[in-house]
Amino acid sequence: MVNPLFFKVTSLLIILVANLIAQSKNNLLSNLVADKDTPIYTTYAASMERSEFTLDEGYHFQFYDSSRGLDFITDTGGDICLAFRRGADYVYELTSLFQQPTITVNYPDMVVYHYFPYPEIRVDGNFLVYSSSTAIFDLKISNVSQSPQNFETIPFIQNRYRVFNEVSMHQEKNAVSFTHEELPDSWVLGHDIPYVNPVKNVFISSLKPDRLTSYRSYKWGNIPIPQEINIMKKPVFWVFSNLSMIKE
């Protein structure tokens, strides 16, 4: 015979545990305090219902490498970056920040974080990969001091994989358009999967910028120009074998 009191207590414990697990699942990813030493996954892609196969683009939040900036990097599409300048003081790499970034919300398609490029300036960032072809970067920049602050905000896109081509400025639309190469791999070619190449891009700002411009590289120096790749050429495979000589 089951003790009724024991049954009620057991049921209560099960309900309490279930509620704790549910609260943990619902709130944990929205209430983080994660820094560069926190083991979290910071690659973001569109949810399945808003994604496409050949044009799908994932973004990795580069927030832990001291030699680089707080970039959202891709494999071939280019990196979304942000820098600040106040007089001769240029802030981009993590080592130049006054306070390192802290991630507070982290989901498969979005991240929310904040940091301080200068002691008086707080940046709250919200990055959302809405679809395979659309990413939204929302920034809130606050002056936390009691005096006015004069500085420049410099959002830019760079590509470490291939060069951008057909770069055009659209001052009236606060936009820059350009193209980049998305070369298909052997699996896509071998299975006759439709693909887009080159891919047309547009970088739009909600605020009217002081100026729109383009450079050959983020850093000064010689820039390697990539050679043309002929994807229609049949691959050639070389087979090497190790030969040994036996002497009697």
Structural domain boundaries in the chain: 28-204
pLDDT band at 222 (very low <50, low <70, confident <90, very high): low
Quote the CA–CA distance of 78 and 119 in Å, as a whole number.
Answer: 30
Report pLDDT digits (tens) over 166-221.
889 998 999 999 998 887 877 888 888 888 888 899 999 998 888 888 777 766 65
Quote the CA–CA distance of 43 and 59 in Å, as a whole number.
Answer: 6
Sign of CA dihedral 16, 22, 25, 26: negative
Q: Hey, what are 1's tokens?
A: 């015979």
Q: What is the mean predicted confidence (pLDDT) over 103-129?
A: 96
Q: Per DSSP, what are the bridge partners of residue 79?
A: 158
pLDDT band at 148 (very low <50, low <70, confident <90, very high): very high
